[in-house]
Amino acid sequence: MTSVPTELYHHHHDHYQQGTNSKLLTTSMNTINTNDDMIQIKAQRELGIIEKLCSTYGFVYCCHRDGRYFFHFSEYKNDIHQAKIGDVVEFETTIDKRKKKPVAVNITPANSEIIGENRVDGTIAVVARQQALQHNGFPQFDFMPDGKVTYVKKGETYFLPYGLTDLQEPTIPVKVGDQVSFNVGQDRRTNQFFARNVALIEKSIPSQTLSNTKRFRGVISTMKDSFGFIEREDALKEIFFHITEFGPNVATNTIQPGIEVEFDIQDRHNKEVACNIIILPKGTVEFDEIDKAPYIGRILQPLKSKKVDDTLTGRLLYDAMDKKMSELPFGERDRCGLYTLLENDIVQFVIAKDKRDGMMRATQIALLDQSFLKSKEQRQMGIVIKLDNTTGGQIKCLSLDQIVSFRFSEVMKDNFQISEGDPLEFTLSANTNNGDVSHAIRIKLISKDNLMNGNGNELRLTGIVERDANDNRTERNGRSNEMSDAKQQTNSNEPVTTPVHRQQEPGIIRYISDGIESTVQYVSTNLSNTPTLYCGDKVEFSMASGNKLASNIILLERHRAHGWIAIVREGKGFIEQSGATDNIEPIAFSMNSFSSDSTQIDLGDEVEFSLRKVSGRLTAENIVKIPLTINNFYSILPTVHRGRVVSPVRMITNDDCEVLGRIQKIADDGIPGECYTFSITGIKNKRVILLPNDPVTFSVAVGLDYSKRAMNIVLENETRKGKVDTVKGQFGFIDFACEENKKIFFHNSEIEGGFELRAGDEVEFYAQYNLKSGKPCASKLRRINNLQRPDRLITKLKSINFDENTRQKLVIVRQPRNADEKSKGFTSARIERAPGTLIKSQN
């Protein structure tokens, strides 16, 4: 055992520690800070380590939960100049009102360890040899010493680690078995117990035969958290061991049942324990002497349920060398496979003799094919229609026309891989644990020729639709036929019957048979339980010899894909498919593909759809809008980063687009960092248009597959600038490069201030996607120049056209411009005239 009873140590000065709780709590109500930047909350003392120190602030890492907190030097209640990285401190947490983030306050230095006052007597179990590791010049707090001391308390044996620095007399070497005394210490950062201040009491008496000690071998039979038992090779018993006896260089996850080991035996407190354990190569330890001569026998008693006190529950009968029938036991591990053995089965085996007690048993038991010929066992044939990666799958039984389940353990040969569509031979057995439901046992792989001979000349296979049957319809949502038929009716009551002949293109089903991947064509007229198939649908079909088309096609599982609306343009658009990699292929769709005509969609909406392949391109059909589940795929980290757009989500042509963009992280010092992909789901304002090199803020989200994406993307400055190119009545265009266009549309209703725009005006606006058409457009336009004269001319006019004595001045009624409001200067001839007209100023 590695835990330590709390009564083994006492500490009168630590009023925070309560048992082994990870948090240090106080119950008083304190004011965290008196200024207005902090929120007054209930004080909660926690233990941490100073992780970073800057000029006026630093960061502290919480030991007992994943937290890294900012603190200001003014919150350190001791001399901050004496603080260094790695110091243990106690602190409280509060919320900064301005940034809404937790910060550390009321920071005080603390002791990292509690050492009990009572001395405990024990024995050296493992001699410490490794020096304490250093990190940044300071001892690494999570370093685990390789030395061990053991002691007994209330009938229980405990092991505590100790290091070379814990010895009171480092110059006096200690050995295994030496009697020592020590104090029990607990590291408050990790709650790990240690032996401290180890003092030698009495040297162990060296054994005369220690150098000639025999090494023992065995196999680990039982493994608990930190200890286990080894089945010995030399005796019919088990011996206790502790995990620390493997040494520091052995990973704990490699110590598992079935590992072969070599060890010494020591007497500790009148009990034999294994020590100095090393791992042996597999096959080194042999409990049995095996006679390699094969024997033929008959199962007399199959294996029963597992029992702790009797593992050899099976019995078989065979003809011995003296021509007398003999009986041998066997157990679970003596079979060549895990498939079921039944009474009167004919098997082949070899005889094993236990080296420890001379007991003989049958092992390497394998079922022979002649057992099925001599028995009255009824064998069935079927095809694998579904596989589970871990347990088994389902078989379509051809003779009984039913689906039965099976487990991989029932396959009689494990040297081949079962695939969907493989023909199998098996026996049906009732599962008493599952309401007598039939399942397949004793499964054998057969050839397709044998399956055809047993089921006529027709073969049943399973496959995946690679390309659906295309009958040249332009609309594939199941509503196009009715719409086209309605258009053929005249205004009269009687419809005009116009025959329409459509030439159907056959679909393709991909399947695997005998380990070979093949394809077969099909037509819609051969579908049995569905009017249409889509790409990815799982089907079962018949294929007769000499026929190039699949027949009697049955839909087994409808493939429905998920995704998000990435781009919408005038009734068409593209979908980002979920679960795709960075090399994602956009899925095209049209508004007619939605199941309901009243569906209102927006950018970022999540949809469910079926796939079709038209002219080598994937398209979405039968689209249904569903609630958003993007938060189930990604967890957003709280840190907000700054960055720039490298490549946005954009439309390239009418038939091509990019549904994934890239954002590059920009550090505080302006150095470019890592690039992250993003999609329309990661943009907060999904109507805003992102362009290359746009400054943004974002957060990093981690997916279920540990991939990273940019989320919560916000454009720092949404205001754009451009020059009006043309004005045509109630709308116009601005010179502004956006996606595939070099100009962006605007409507006069979006102009603020009520002024009239002319070609050449410089304007500020917001670039967004139109809610109805999905095209880029400008909104909230504001003119930033008024076509005025330069400031130098205006200043000059003010100085020469204002008379201080008469209080008269020159007023410009209209700025000079040509009639077409485009060309510069005047085309008419200029004549000299008096500048302006002087009028009296109104007081």
- Find how far residue 74's CA is from the centre of its chain: 42
> Residue 239: pLDDT above 90?
yes
Report whether 811 contacts 839 (CB < 8 A).
yes
Per this entry, what is the length of the chain? Answer: 843
Confidence of residue 797 (pLDDT cuts 50, 70, 90): low
Confidence of residue 414 (pLDDT cuts 50, 70, 90): low
- Reported as a single tens digit per residue, the pLDDT across 532-576 is 888 888 998 887 665 667 878 888 888 888 888 888 887 888 888
pLDDT at res. 486: 39
Query: From CA 242, how far away is CA 259, in angstroms rounded?
Result: 15
CA distances to 241, 660, 794 from 809, rounded to whole Å, are 108, 63, 13
> Residue 778: pLDDT above 70?
yes
Record: fold of 561-628: OB fold (Dihydrolipoamide Acetyltransferase, E2P) (2.40.50)
Confidence of residue 698 (pLDDT cuts 50, 70, 90): very high
Q: Which of 6-15, 190-199, 448-457, 567-576 is the least confident region?
A: 6-15
pLDDT at res. 666: 92
The more confidently predicted of residues 247 and 58 is 58
Asked if the domains at 45-109 and 215-279 fall in one CATH topology, the answer is: yes
Token reading at 142: 């999570």
| Matching CATH number, 633-715, of 2.40.50.140, 2.60.40.290, 3.40.50.300, 3.30.365.10 | 2.40.50.140
- In the predicted model, what is the mean pLDDT of the chain? 77
Q: Which of 191-195, 206-210, 514-518, 556-560 is the least confident region?
A: 206-210
CATH architecture, range 288-374: Beta Barrel (2.40)
Record: fold of 45-109: OB fold (Dihydrolipoamide Acetyltransferase, E2P) (2.40.50)
pLDDT at res. 262: 92
CATH class of 453-470+506-558: mainly beta
Confidence of residue 97 (pLDDT cuts 50, 70, 90): confident
Q: Which of 211-220, 704-713, 789-798 is the least confident region?
A: 789-798
pLDDT at res. 331: 85
> Residue 758: pLDDT above 80?
yes
366 CB-near residues (< 8 Å, 6+ apart): 335, 336, 337, 347, 348, 349
Average pLDDT over residues 381-395: 82
> Residue 159: pLDDT above 80?
yes
Record: fold of 378-450: OB fold (Dihydrolipoamide Acetyltransferase, E2P) (2.40.50)
The more confidently predicted of residues 244 and 316 is 316
Most confident of 382-386, 413-417, 672-676: 672-676
Token reading at 404: 């039965």
The more confidently predicted of residues 531 and 502 is 531
470-482: b or e for each residue (b if 16 or more CB lie within 10 Å)? beeeeebbeeeee
Q: How many Cβ atoms from other residues are within 10 Å of residue 669's Cβ?
A: 5
- Reported as a single tens digit per residue, the pLDDT across 254-290 is 888 889 999 988 887 778 899 889 999 888 888 888 8
Record: fold of 719-783: OB fold (Dihydrolipoamide Acetyltransferase, E2P) (2.40.50)
Average pLDDT over residues 565-590: 80
Confidence of residue 506 (pLDDT cuts 50, 70, 90): confident
The domain locations on the chain are: 45-109, 113-130+144-202, 215-279, 288-374, 378-450, 453-470+506-558, 561-628, 633-715, 719-783
> Residue 293: pLDDT above 80?
yes
**Which residue in 702, 709, 841, 685 sits closest to 771, CA to CA?**
685
pLDDT at res. 34: 39
What CATH number belongs to 215-279?
2.40.50.140
> Residue 421: pLDDT above 70?
yes
CA distances to 594, 595, 629 from 622, rounded to whole Å, are 5, 5, 19
Most confident of 149-158, 360-369, 513-522, 606-615: 360-369
> Residue 737: pLDDT above 80?
yes
pLDDT at res. 825: 55
> Residue 470: pLDDT above 70?
no
| Matching CATH number, 113-130+144-202, of 2.40.50.140, 3.40.50.300, 2.40.30.170, 1.10.10.10 | 2.40.50.140
